[in-house]
Amino acid sequence: MSIAISVHNLTKRYGDITAVDNISFEVKQGEIFGFLGPNGAGKTTTIRILTCIIKPDEGKATIMGHDIEKEPLQAKQIMGIVPEMSNAYIDLSAWNNLMLIGELYGVPKKQRAERAKRLLEKFGLYDRRNQLVRDFSKGMKQRLILCMALINEPTILFLDEPTSGLDVESAKIIREMIVELNNTGTTVFLTTHNMEEANKLCHRIAIINHGKIAAIDTPEKLRVKSSGLQSIEASFDYLVNMDDLAKIPCIKQVEKMGDKIKFYTSDTNEALNRIMDYARSHGLKIITLNTLAPSLEEVFLKLTQIKNGV
Amino acid sequence: MLSTTFFLEQIKRSLAIAKKDIQIYYLKGPVIVFGLIFPLFLFLAFTIGRNLSAKELFPGFIGMVVFFTATSVGPAILPWEARSKTLERLVCSPISTWAILFGDILASFIFGLFISLVPLIAILIIGVEIMDLVLLSSGMILATFCFASLSVLLSVYPPTDIPSTVMMLSSLIKFPLVFISGVFVPIEQLPEWGKIVASASPLTYFVDLAKCSVNGISYFSVPVDLAVLTAFALVFLISSVKLHERFLPKRFS
């Protein structure tokens, strides 16, 4: 699989603050790549560098082989961009916004009109095409922004928090469209705060914190690799002493959750045996016993908290 | 080296920018106030109560109209776009900075030219004789382009997203220029230092050209007026592109 986005030692500073600190990663063609991080981690700065809005202080990035500093126009020609905040012209109609962006990407007039019609119909905006964007709801604006990002049929689509603050219907439409576009070969670079969204959509995820990449892998591997976050959930027929449970070797932490007890461990197999031994030795009957992988949210919190020194 | 195809493609995209500017900015309040109302009242304040013929008033009046209208749209565009985040949309589109700015200049130029045609047509209707209409028309086109380029240059610094700040600061430059350019007081009546100051203003050369077109009398010669206006236009155009390229990233930080 060829490389769609290549980033090498990218750095961006604002005065004394290093917003992006020597990051490197690659996104394969046809991938949905998630870029996760807390507020101020460097997600938007990275996306702004990759979309040629700002220049990096150091490092190099290429989009489908085009260096973003040496061949910015060629790189921009094959991108579609959905920013966090709607940036459609509110004094223009939805149709005129699409025509303008089509012209800026050099899409011929006939194709421009055909694509605009198809996209507006697909996103449920065709009936409102002649209405000024200032009268649109947030969800409608975001759907229009997606139409504008797709008018040039991009090879790579950058989405910065595309579903943030949207109604359920608009968010669902956008997620479905991301999957549909990816199925037709579009590479997607997605920043999001929504772990569930990242888990469901992304083939690979990078977690950025304080401008540095904290981890990069598939969602499943990130979860499995996070030692200490794997857990076992058990319930017994009688109340048990939590202090005794905490003393079981290889158990790092014990938490009571209603009638269940959650055991955190780095060795699931050994912990299972020890819990069963404990039940047998204390004459307890095990009602339920489940092994749980950490949620992506837990992985994210763990990785970002480590870097924060928590 | 720019290829012809690339250049023409970018010019087409500049036209799209100009079309967008026309649709959005022509009716914005500051454009109407600074481009039409201010110069009109300034001129009325100067003319009312003075016994001057239309032929005597016209060169200064057309100079002021061309200058104020051509410089009214340009300064507003970039701060407005920065505020509404649409500038980011433009910058991440495959269009060069020079092509974006050329589109903005074109929108200012069209606004200035069309509004300036109104007094020109009016003066012809009331029967004032223009000795050289071709010279006046060419001068108007050249001056409007020159002032439109100046207008985009005026929005370079500070790289703010508050349109009124830029409009106010640009007025600090525009109003003094009107008073030193032979609009109200003919250059030949200015003291020596005034003549030196007047020669630094591009408006001086257009007003001189307009006087020559109407009366056949000019302070500088016609070739000098045309050459200096062309030189000013090029300097404003090139410095506008270079300085915006330098300061544009500051609007996104």
Q: pLDDT for A228-246, tens place per residue?
A: 667 888 999 888 888 888 8
> Same domain for A237 and A250?
yes
- Contact check, Cβ <8 Å, A52/B92: yes
Instruction: Write the CB contacts of A78 (distance below 8 Å, at least 6 apart in sequence).
Output: A63, A64, A66, A152, A154, A155, A156
- Contact check, Cβ <8 Å, A104/B91: no
- Contact check, Cβ <8 Å, B84/A103: no
From chain A, pick out residues whose CB is under 8 angstroms from the CB of B19: 100
Mutation site, A55, A104, A145, interface B, largest B CB count within 10 A: A104
Q: What is the pLDDT of residue B1?
A: 53
Distance set, CA B71 to CA B106, B176, B225 (Å): 11, 14, 20
Distance set, CA A65 to CA A29, A43, A52, A62, B162 (Å): 11, 22, 14, 5, 38
Give the angle A124-A128-A130 at the CA atoms, nearest 5°. Answer: 140
Which two three-digit tokens encode residue A29? Answer: 């063609």
Domain-located, residue A300: no
Q: What is the pLDDT of residue B2?
A: 61
Domain-located, residue A129: yes
Residue ranges of chain A whose CB lies within 8 Å of a chain B CB:
14, 48, 51-55, 73-74, 76-77, 79, 81, 83, 85-92, 96, 100-101, 103-106, 148
Q: In this prediction, what percent of chain A has a pLDDT beyond 90?
A: 58
- Contact check, Cβ <8 Å, A51/B92: yes
From chain B, pick out residues whose CB is under 8 angstroms from the CB of A61: none
> Same domain for A92 and A188?
no
For residue A309, pLDDT beyond 60: no
For residue A5, pLDDT beyond 80: yes
Q: What is the pLDDT of residue A101?
A: 97
Q: What is the pLDDT of residue A74?
A: 95
Average pLDDT of the residues of chain A: 89
Number of domains in chain B: 1
From chain A, pick out residues whose CB is under 8 angstroms from the CB of B20: 89, 92, 96, 100
Domain-located, residue A170: no
- Contact check, Cβ <8 Å, B92/A101: no
- Contact check, Cβ <8 Å, B94/A54: no
Top-confidence residue, B127 or B205: B205
Number of domains in chain A: 3
From chain B, pick out residues whose CB is under 8 angstroms from the CB of A101: 89, 93
Average pLDDT of the residues of chain B: 90
CA A50 to chain centre: 16
> Same domain for A30 and A70?
yes
Q: What is the pLDDT of residue A251?
A: 87
Top-confidence residue, B166 or B241: B241
- Contact check, Cβ <8 Å, A53/B12: no
Q: What is the pLDDT of residue B173?
A: 87
C-alpha–C-alpha distance, residues B130 and A71, integer Å: 52
Domain-located, residue A50: yes
Domain-located, residue A299: no
- Contact check, Cβ <8 Å, B92/A55: no
Q: In this prediction, what percent of chain B has a pLDDT beyond 70?
A: 99
| B146 Cβ under 8 Å from any chain A Cβ | no
| B29 Cβ under 8 Å from any chain A Cβ | no
* pLDDT tens-digit readout, B61-72: 899 999 999 998
Closest residue in A to B103 (Cα) is A104
Could you tell me the pLDDT band of residue A104, with boundaries at 50, 70 and 90? very high
| B20 Cβ under 8 Å from any chain A Cβ | yes
Q: What is the least distance, in Å, from the CA of B27 to any CA of chain A?
A: 11
State the residue range of the domain holding A264: 227-293
| B19 Cβ under 8 Å from any chain A Cβ | yes
For residue A136, pLDDT beyond 90: yes
| B47 Cβ under 8 Å from any chain A Cβ | no
pLDDT mean over A14-24:
92
Q: What is the least distance, in Å, from the CA of A166 to any CA of chain B?
A: 19
> Same domain for A143 and A288?
no
Q: What is the least distance, in Å, from the CA of B117 to any CA of chain A?
A: 27
Distance set, CA B129 to CA A83, A125, B141, B213 (Å): 58, 56, 20, 10
Domain-located, residue A262: yes
| B24 Cβ under 8 Å from any chain A Cβ | yes
C-alpha–C-alpha distance, residues A287 and B140, integer Å: 92
Could you tell me the pLDDT band of residue A58, with boundaries at 50, 70 and 90? very high
* pLDDT tens-digit readout, B85-126: 999 999 999 999 999 999 999 999 999 999 999 989 988 998
For residue A264, pLDDT beyond 80: yes
Q: How many helices (H) and strands (E) does chain B have?
A: 12, 0
Over its C-alpha atoms, chain A yields an Rg (Å, rounded) of 24
Residue among A234, A227, A298, A233 at smallest CA distance from A265: A227
From chain B, pick out residues whose CB is under 8 angstroms from the CB of A51: 92
Size of interface A-B (CB pairs under 8 A): 71
Domain-located, residue A141: yes
> Same domain for A93 and A149?
yes
From chain B, pick out residues whose CB is under 8 angstroms from the CB of A103: 12-13, 15-16
- What is the distance in angstroms between the CA of the first residue and the CA of the last residue of chain B? 31
From chain B, pick out residues whose CB is under 8 angstroms from the CB of A100: 16, 19-20
Q: State the DSSP string of B122-154.
A: HHHHTTPPPS-HHHHHHHHHHHHHHHHHHHHHT
* pLDDT tens-digit readout, A165-198: 778 888 888 899 999 999 999 999 999 877 778 8
Distance set, CA A20 to CA A7, A58, A66, A69, B232 (Å): 12, 10, 21, 17, 42
> Same domain for A94 and A66?
no
For residue A225, pLDDT beyond 80: no
> Same domain for A6 and A73?
yes
> Same domain for A120 and A234?
no
> Same domain for A16 and A107?
no
Query: How much is the ipTM here?
Result: 0.89
Show which of residues 76-115 on chain B sit within 8 Å of chain A, judged by CB atoms: 84-86, 88-96
pLDDT mean over B171-184:
86
C-alpha–C-alpha distance, residues A39 and A165, integer Å: 15
Distance set, CA A122 to CA A100, A127, A150, B79 (Å): 19, 11, 12, 34
C-alpha–C-alpha distance, residues A8 and A152, integer Å: 27
Q: How many helices (H) and strands (E) does chain A have?
A: 11, 14
Closest residue in B to A97 (Cα) is B20
Angle between helices A168-183 and A138-150 (to 10 degrees): 10
> Same domain for A63 and A9?
yes
For residue A310, pLDDT beyond 50: no
Give the angle A180-A183-A186 at the CA atoms, nearest 5°. Answer: 90
Mutation site, B85, B92, B248, interface A, largest A CB count within 10 A: B92
> Same domain for A195 and A57?
yes
Could you tell me the pLDDT band of residue A227, with boundaries at 50, 70 and 90? low
Domain-located, residue A58: yes
From chain B, pick out residues whose CB is under 8 angstroms from the CB of A108: none
State the residue range of the domain holding B77: 4-252
* pLDDT tens-digit readout, A268-298: 888 899 999 999 998 889 999 988 767 667 7
Could you tell me the pLDDT band of residue A1, with boundaries at 50, 70 and 90? low
- Is residue A14 helix, strand or coil? strand
> Same domain for A98 and A232?
no
Q: In this prediction, what percent of chain A has a pLDDT beyond 70?
A: 95
Reduce the secondary structure of B31-64 to three states and give it as a string.
Answer: HHHHHHHHHHHHHHHHHCCCCCCHHHHHHHHHHH
